Structure 1
Amino acid sequence: MNTPVASETYAAQVRRLADLTARVAAQRAEANGWYAQQVVAADRAVAEAAEQVRRAEAEVAEAQRMVERVDAEAAHLWGQLRARIGTGGRRLGDPPGPARDATGDPVPLLRGVRELLDRTRQPGELPGSANPLLVGCGIGGALVAYALGAGARALGAGSGGDLAVGMPVLALVVTLLGPLVGLAPARLLADRRHAVLTPRPILLVAATGLATTALLLTLTATR
């Protein structure tokens, strides 16, 4: 037979159940709030990470553009240096690569190199002290052309047929080009002196070669 429960005990149990239910509801609400906060924090962290990735990608792209600009400027300055050196600049080869221990902004360094190249002396005219060498170039070129012409004439004289007719003509053409042959060594001389071959040395070489050629032809005609 069931024992009846006192009304005070039943009421206490109901109050206890209600209290436990309220506490569970409060804990559930607290857990839901904590979860919502964690979701918001995670979303914020993901957004911040995405922004950092975007900034990093932008910095990488900017760095790549800077590298391309620096490489292009370095190649341009290297080409100017080779042009200033002249014929010897061909031995410089391609522009050197970046140094491993290089630090800092390369733009000021390139600006300094550009200013240094601008301050260097522009190629000028050969000085008067080079005139004897220019005269030697004119005489040497005329002598070489005359020797080739003489060889062609001798070859034609010892041959027959069309060769005997054509070789003297070729010899005359080569001999008449003698005043211009000396311009080739004169150009090399100007490159070694980091100068340009202006009209004055060109006329000097050509005039010397012309005089030498005329003298040689005169001596040949008087024999």
Structure 2
Amino acid sequence: MNEPVTSDTYAAHVRRLADLTGRVAAQRAEARDWHDQQCAAARRAVAEAAAQLRAAEEEVAAARSLLERVDAEVGHLWAELRSRMGARGLGDPPGPARGTADDPVPLLRGVRELLERTGQRGELPAAVNPLLALCGVAGALVAYALGAGARVFGQRYGGDLAVGMPVLALVVTLLGPVAGLAPAKRLADRRHALLGPRPMAVVLVAGVATTVALLVLSR
């Protein structure tokens, strides 16, 4: 027969079992806490990664939009430069410079302002005053010649033309100084300049002087 277990031995086994059970429960609780902490950390890491991914996607979209706007502005400025310089053989606009990280927007603004200043026409220099005076003289001579032709035409055919043509001839002759402004304007356009008050005054003075001289000599 089996020998009976003493109460002291049984109590020791019970205490040991209780101790082991408590240690297992504590380890299980510790494992659950560790698992919960790892899951929470993983969720935080995933959320942070998702936020960083969204921020990166927004930066990429903004950079792509900026690139498209910069390319469009560069194409527009390049076309304007080719138009103003008349250099159709310039080809395509240059690409971005290597090794630079500057914001292109201020750079393009500076290029735009430079083109605007370059495209502004200045007044004709004083060195072309002889040419302007020649325009006035030529306009007066052409108008006087047309007026003289009108007078001859009226005298030849007589009647009402003999009365009206001299009046028309006088009007055309008096418009001679103004007619000189047309070639002066072409001269200014070819030099990419403005026909300002001073050049106009030179043309008109030369034209008026020529017209007065022609009228005095024709008497």
Which residues in structure 2 correspond to 1:110-125 (within 5 Å)?
110-123=108-121
2:44 corresponds in structure 1 to 44
Decide whether aligned partners of structure 1 residues 126 and 96 sit closer, same or farther in structure 2, where only a CA change above 3 A counts.
same
2:94 corresponds in structure 1 to 96
Q: CA deviation at 1:32?
A: 0.8
Query: Could you list the per-position Cα deviations for residues 86-136 of structure 1 after superposition, in whole angstroms to 9, with x for gaps in the alignment?
Result: x3x21212211111222211111111111111222534687747959x99x
Alpha carbons 1:84, 1:123 under 8 Å: kept: no
Decide whether aligned partners of structure 1 residues 59 and 130 sit closer, same or farther in structure 2, where only a CA change above 3 A counts.
farther
Percent identical pairs in the alignment equals 65
The CA distance in 2 between the partners of 1:90 and 1:130, in whole Å, is 33
Decide whether aligned partners of structure 1 residues 93 and 123 sit closer, same or farther in structure 2, where only a CA change above 3 A counts.
farther
Alpha carbons 2:75, 2:93 under 8 Å: kept: yes
The CA distance in 2 between the partners of 1:45 and 1:130, in whole Å, is 83
Q: CA deviation at 1:21?
A: 0.5
Alpha carbons 2:84, 2:119 under 8 Å: kept: no
Which residues in structure 2 correspond to 1:56-75 (within 5 Å)?
56-75=56-75
Report the 3-state secondary structure (helix = DSSP H, G, I; strand = E; otherwise coil) of the residue aligned with 1:104. coil
Gaps of 5+ in 1: 136-182, 201-223
Q: CA deviation at 1:20?
A: 0.5
1:3 equivalent to 2:8? Answer no
Decide whether aligned partners of structure 1 residues 97 and 80 sit closer, same or farther in structure 2, where only a CA change above 3 A counts.
same
1:29 corresponds in structure 2 to 29
The CA distance in 2 between the partners of 1:43 and 1:113, in whole Å, is 50
- Counterpart of 1:23, as a letter, is R
- Give TM-score scaled by structure 2 length: 0.57
